[in-house]
Amino acid sequence: MQGKEGHIAVIGCRRCRKCDSACTCRALYRVDGLARVDYSKCTMCMACVKACPNKALVLID
């Protein structure tokens, strides 16, 4: 991870998939339709957090 410290948490994903195309480092994947973050790929760019209309992706410091 670079830049910000912490983790992106997925809380209350509604399976809208709008975050999928926002993640340019391909750190997001789905389990039973719910978004999950592969922290080994995540660069903490926050694009997925900004793209989520439901505020289900949040930065936890």
Question: What is the DSSP-derived secondary structure letter of residue 49?
Answer: H
Domain count, the chain: 1
Determine the Cα–Cα distance for residues 33 and 45; give it in Å rounded to an integer. Answer: 23
**What is this structure's pTM?**
0.84
CATH for 43: 3.30.70.20
Q: In this predicted structure, what is the pLDDT of residue 1?
A: 42
Asked, for residue 19, whether it belongs to a domain, the answer is: yes
Asked, for residue 1, whether it belongs to a domain, the answer is: no
Asked, for residue 24, whether it belongs to a domain, the answer is: yes
Asked, for residue 31, whether it belongs to a domain, the answer is: yes
Q: In this predicted structure, what is the pLDDT of residue 3?
A: 55
Question: Average pLDDT per run of 10 along the chain, which is 61 residues long?
Answer: 76 95 94 96 94 96 87
**Strands 34-37 and 28-31, bridge-based pairing:** antiparallel
Tally the residues of the chain. 61
**Please, what's the b/e burial string for 20-33 (b: 16 or more CB within 10 A of its CB; e: otherwise)?**
eebbeeebbeeeee
Asked, for residue 36, whether it belongs to a domain, the answer is: yes
Give the 3-state secondary structure of residue 4. Answer: coil
